[in-house]
Amino acid sequence: MTDLTDPKFIKLKYLLFLLPGFHLSGLLLIHAADWTVALLMVTMIWGLCSFYSFVFYGIQHYVDPRCKFSGLWGSAQYVMGRQKL
């Protein structure tokens, strides 16, 4: 499989990740319309986005510049010490 380089498909992939998140967040808020649920959901999304950013940016730029992960599984193996560079 080759890398995705076409800007149109990259934008489509972006939307395919974004739309379900907004859709499911809206459904959750409709189902449990409460400020506490909304605050917990925003905090959860912020935390997970920060984690994802750290996995692909933080480790490579601040921990080990040789690390380049293709996914979360590769980064988990590196953190657990099972992946050798």
Q: Which of 73, 46, 74 is nearest to 64 (CA)?
A: 74
Same domain, 48 and 28: no
Q: Taking each helix axis from N to C terminus, what angle separates 7-31 and 35-53, rounded to the nearest 10 degrees?
A: 150
- Domain that residue 47 falls in: 34-85
- Quick: pLDDT tens for 48-67: 888 888 887 887 888 888 87
Dihedral of the CA atoms 53, 57, 59, 64 (nearest 10)? 180
Residue in this structure with the two tokens 């076409």, named with its chain if needed = 6
First vs last C-alpha separation in the chain? 22
Give residue 1's pLDDT. Answer: 60
Same domain, 28 and 39: no
Q: Could you give the 3-state DSSP secondary structure of residue 32?
A: coil
Tally of domains in the chain = 2
Which percentage of the chain shows pLDDT scores above 90?
0
Same domain, 24 and 41: no
